[in-house]
Amino acid sequence: MSLLERSMGIQTELYANFTEHEQVVFCNDRQTGLKAIIAIHDTTLGPALGGCRMRPYSSIEEAVNDVLRLSKGMTYKCAAADVDFGGGKAVIIGDPAKDKSPEMFRAFGRFVDSLNGRFYTGTDMGTTMNDFIYASKETNCIVGVPEAYGGSGDSSIPTAQGVIYGLKATNNVLFGDETLTNRTYAIQGLGKVGYKVAERLAMEGAEIYVTDIDETVLQKIKERGNELGTKVNVVTNKEIYRVKADIYIPCAFGGVINDETIEQFEIKAIVGSANNQLSYEKMAERLQEKGILYAPDYIVNSGGLIQVADELYGPNKERIIAKTKSIYTSLLEVFEKSVSEQMTTVEAANRLCKKRLEDRARLNRFFLQSRRPKWDIRR
């Protein structure tokens, strides 16, 4: 493919991704070296909310594509979780290991502030809560900072809890009984979310198969299994796709449901926290053809989002737990719609989210005094 054809391909993809976004902002601060892009996809439900990812993108196009795709995903995730936020995301172009500085995140905070409350952000891949302590000195539109700084703390706790609710809803549909015990689970990735899920399943006495590239977490879960009297089976990174289990739980990285892995699966369902698990959306049809029940990732992993969105009201643990529980009912609704209207679970989830957006958009039809334009001198 020639350079021209390649660049035309990228441009077509960019335009295709840009057809629905409200606003995209390029941020450049020469002093700190900050190069960031903020994308606001849809603010029907409220100000845009989405994490800020830092990666050494190989080109501006790659960064733009990523931020456009991720911010759109956030619109659906917020709608599915029924929180009063819209879809947004930010990316910083740079190597998180080398290019970060407190000043860079302060500069980023100033750009976020310039959006005047249209965009709220916090950590994502490559950024930490510590980075956002600096950003929060420049703007109030930061979420997910440590509790000592007024935030709600570790979001992997509600995320893992949400996965557990997802597993219960799925067991209910598969076996007519939501209990976690007496089932087998294959867990990929024992990080902040995956470890908590594995530990909970081990506590329930379920049989678990686990994999990770980090030997220390594998050792840790094995010891925990021994303490609890539950067998923990460690398998390799390749074997995890072939494990004969009831449910596969991807908690490491995206794209794990692809042309190669789908041929190997010997599972009944997939329920995990990893973002963008399907390598492409049509993969949902292939899972359905294979008789594998797929719990859409953006519903299963919305516990963390529920927690940061809750900061809008001042964090409250009981409220977060109660709201995270709704992942159970949301999934059941998606599974039922998928059966009754004969569509994939992904299509069913997307349609429910679109309906929620349309219903809310209708609310905006009547005039509110507080929305009167500032230039209106008769105020």
Structure token pair of residue 225: 């299994």
Among 96, 146, 191, 255, binds ligand NAD (CB under 6 A): 191
- Using DSSP's 3-state secondary structure scheme, residue 28 falls into strand
243 counts as binding ligand NAD under rule CB under 6 A: no
193 counts as binding ligand NAD under rule CB under 6 A: yes
Q: Closer to ligand NAD at the Cβ: 301 or 350?
A: 301
Among 44, 71, 127, 156, binds ligand NAD (CB under 6 A): 156
192 counts as binding ligand NAD under rule CB under 6 A: yes
Alpha carbon distance 289, 265 (integer Å): 13
Q: Is the distance from CB of 173 to CB of 338 less than 8 angstroms?
A: no
Alpha carbon distance 258, 162 (integer Å): 24
Structure token pair of residue 91: 């990316």
Q: Which of 72, 77, 89, 196 is catalytic?
A: 89
159 counts as binding ligand NAD under rule CB under 6 A: yes
Task: State in angstroms the smallest separation of the CB of 373 from ligand NAD.
Answer: 38
> Considering only 52-60, 131-139, 211-219, 335-343, which stretch makes contact with ligand NAD by CB under 6 A?
211-219
51 counts as binding ligand NAD under rule CB under 6 A: no
251 counts as binding ligand NAD under rule CB under 6 A: yes
Q: Closer to ligand NAD at the Cβ: 34 or 80?
A: 80
Q: Closer to ligand NAD at the Cβ: 236 or 369?
A: 236
How, if at all, do strands 23-29 and 34-42 pair?
antiparallel
Among 84, 95, 214, 336, binds ligand NAD (CB under 6 A): 214
253 counts as binding ligand NAD under rule CB under 6 A: yes
Q: Closer to ligand NAD at the Cβ: 159 or 326?
A: 159
274 counts as binding ligand NAD under rule CB under 6 A: yes
User: For every residue of 259-310, which 3-state class applies, written as one string?
Assistant: HHHHCCCECCEECCCCCCCECCCCHHHHHHHCCCEECCHHHHCCHHHHHHHH
Task: Tell me the H-state helices in the chain.
Answer: 3-17, 60-81, 102-114, 129-135, 156-175, 192-203, 215-228, 259-262, 283-289, 297-300, 303-310, 317-340, 345-363
Q: Is the distance from CB of 235 to CB of 257 less than 8 angstroms?
A: no
Which amino acid is present at 101? Answer: S
Task: State in angstroms the smallest separation of the CB of 82 from ligand NAD.
Answer: 17
> Considering only 133-141, 246-254, 353-361, 363-371, which stretch makes contact with ligand NAD by CB under 6 A?
246-254
Reply yes or no on whether 89 is catalytic.
yes
Size of the site for ligand NAD (CB under 6 A): 24
Which amino acid is present at 337? Answer: K
Classify 177 in phi/psi space as left (phi over 0), alpha (psi -120 to 50) or beta: beta
Q: Is the distance from CB of 302 to CB of 327 less than 8 angstroms?
A: yes
Among 94, 109, 126, 189, binds ligand NAD (CB under 6 A): 189
List residues binding ligand NAD (CB under 6 A): 155-156, 159, 188-194, 211-214, 217, 237, 251-253, 273-275, 301, 304
Which positions are catalytic? Answer: 89
